[in-house]
Amino acid sequence: MKKRTEKPIYVTEPFLPPLEEFTPYLEKIWESKWLTNNGPYHQQLEQALCEHLGVNHLALFVNGTAALITALQTLQITGEVITTPYSFVATAHSLLWNNIKPVFVDIDPVTMNLDPNHIESAITSQTTAILPVHCYGNPCNVDRIQQIAAKHKLKVIYDGAHAFDVKYRGESLLVHGDLSVLSFHATKVFNTFEGGAIICPDAKTKQRVDYLKNFGFADEVTIVAAGINGKMNELQAAFGLLQLNHIGHAIRSRKKIDCRYREALSGVSGITCMAEPGVTVRNYAYFPVLVGADYPLTREELYQKLKGQGIYSRRYFYPLISNMPMYSELASANVGNLPKANSVAESVLCLPIFPALENSEQQRIIDVIWNPE
Ligand SMILES: *Cc1c(COP(=O)(O)O)cnc(C)c1O
């Protein structure tokens, strides 16, 4: 057996700026003793992100899941919500935490997003909202979704956890819908260790979000809602400000890796790279490929083969949310209702992509895919 000496390659590696750049932020926090509760770094990061993303109002959160749960609370969503089964589990879990029934609708196998053609037939008298995901940062069909929502008087909340810095038709993708939610988890393009945000269309909505993320406190003695503790602390916010200085470089590095994969894998029969969306400035957050019947290995075999070589690709998103035990009994979770989502979940593999991935490491991955035997 060949002895392996190369270091393992994970699907992603958090982007960490040089440690010494973080020290001045820490010193300020120690000096002020202001650790959380809308501190100076929290205020600065909200402002900086609004400017960077080109949005008017943004409320920071301790993580993306708390932001999703609070977004549903903000718009007082109840009953049934139409959503995609092809996402990270937090999308649907945020509905269960609000006692809302998820109604799954199939995806478009090219964009891997909620297929608008199936939305209307899933609407019932109980439906109050649509919760789509800009999967891998691919823009949803925001025009069609908006049309359907307007016609049926539904709210739209976008799970934009993958869509940081994605521009669509010249503006932030996150301006669409009634609210959009971001995640700044360590594995995301922009991270604050853990973190998240809600993009709000106006100051009044942000005010309500701010009450809800702080136990419902409007002032010291006035509690206006049964809010949660969803506040981002000063360490997270400071790290976000530092990270923002480097985000352009980080995304450019990702873009190079994306281009190299596309070029190198274009001749491999049975491997399909995700189609690049039009009129979109991407963030290159993920590199999903579909492993087809023409490829000599199944998706599982390729996943294991790579793993054996110290390359940890991920089956995002498998299993499908609708096949998890807390959802699988729902009528809409039936495999027959979601053929495309089931088929993509069975054949997708996300390859390593992150700013520090070296050429030689990427070549190792490409070589295994070309010569898996
Ligand atoms: C990461 C992610 C979330 C959850 O965000 P956390 O910050 O980890 O709570 C929600 N939805 C999607 C699609 C995600 O990828």
Q: What is the CATH number of the domain that holds 340?
A: 3.90.1150.10
Do 117 and 220 belong together in one domain? yes
Residue 236: its pLDDT value, please?
98
Residue 66 CA: nearest ligand 1 atom is: 9
Instruction: Decide if 12 is inside a domain.
Output: no
Residue 289: its pLDDT value, please?
98
Instruction: Decide if 267 is inside a domain.
Output: yes
Q: Domain residues for 341?
A: 247-370
Using CB distances shorter than 6 Å, the residues near ligand 1 are: 63-65, 87-88, 90-91, 133, 159, 161-162, 183, 185, 196
Instruction: Decide if 228 is inside a domain.
Output: yes
Residue 6: its pLDDT value, please?
79
- Mean of the pLDDT values across residues 329-341? 98
- Residue entry with tokens 């009129």: 279
Instruction: Decide if 178 is inside a domain.
Output: yes
∠ CA 36-38-42, rounded to 5°: 90
Percentage of the chain exceeding pLDDT 90: 98
Residue 354: its pLDDT value, please?
98
Do 166 and 270 belong together in one domain? no
pLDDT per residue as tens digits for the range 20-58 = 999 999 999 999 999 999 999 999 999 999 999 999 999
How would you classify the pairing of strands 171-172 and 217-219?
unpaired
pLDDT per residue as tens digits for the range 221-271 = 999 999 999 999 999 999 999 999 999 999 999 999 999 999 999 999 999
pLDDT per residue as tens digits for the range 290-309 = 999 999 999 999 999 999 99
Residue 270: its pLDDT value, please?
97
Where does the chain have alpha helices with state H?
23-32, 40-53, 64-74, 90-96, 142-152, 203-212, 234-244, 247-265, 299-308, 339-347, 359-370
Name the band, by pLDDT with cuts 50, 70 and 90, for residue 147: very high
Residue 4: its pLDDT value, please?
55
Average per-residue pLDDT in the chain?
Answer: 97
Do 66 and 85 belong together in one domain? yes
- Mean of the pLDDT values across residues 159-181? 98
Residue 58 and residue 50 in contact, taking contact as beta carbons nearer than 8 Å: yes
Do 268 and 347 belong together in one domain? yes
Q: Which of 221, 244, 267 delimits the end of a domain?
A: 244
- Mean of the pLDDT values across residues 338-351? 98
- 3-class secondary-structure state, position 129: strand
- Mean of the pLDDT values across residues 107-129? 98
Residue 133 CA: nearest ligand 1 atom is: 13
Do 235 and 317 belong together in one domain? no
Q: Provide the CATH number for the domain around residue 235.
A: 3.40.640.10
Instruction: Decide if 14 is inside a domain.
Output: no
Residue 209 has pLDDT above 80, yes or no: yes
- Residue entry with tokens 């200085």: 245
Q: Which of 244, 279, 302 delimits the end of a domain?
A: 244
Residue 2: its pLDDT value, please?
52
Question: How far is Cα 285 from Cα 184, in angstroms, rounded to an integer?
Answer: 12
Residue 3: its pLDDT value, please?
52
Instruction: Decide if 93 is inside a domain.
Output: yes
Structurally, the chain folds into a number of domains equal to 2
Do 210 and 154 belong together in one domain? yes
Instruction: Decide if 9 is inside a domain.
Output: no
- 3-class secondary-structure state, position 60: strand
Residue 1 has pLDDT above 80, yes or no: no
Q: Which of 159, 189, 283 maximizes ligand 1 atoms within 8 Å of its Cβ, making it the mutation to test the pocket?
A: 159
CA of 308 to the centre of ligand 1 (A): 28
Do 91 and 240 belong together in one domain? yes
CA of 258 to the centre of ligand 1 (A): 22
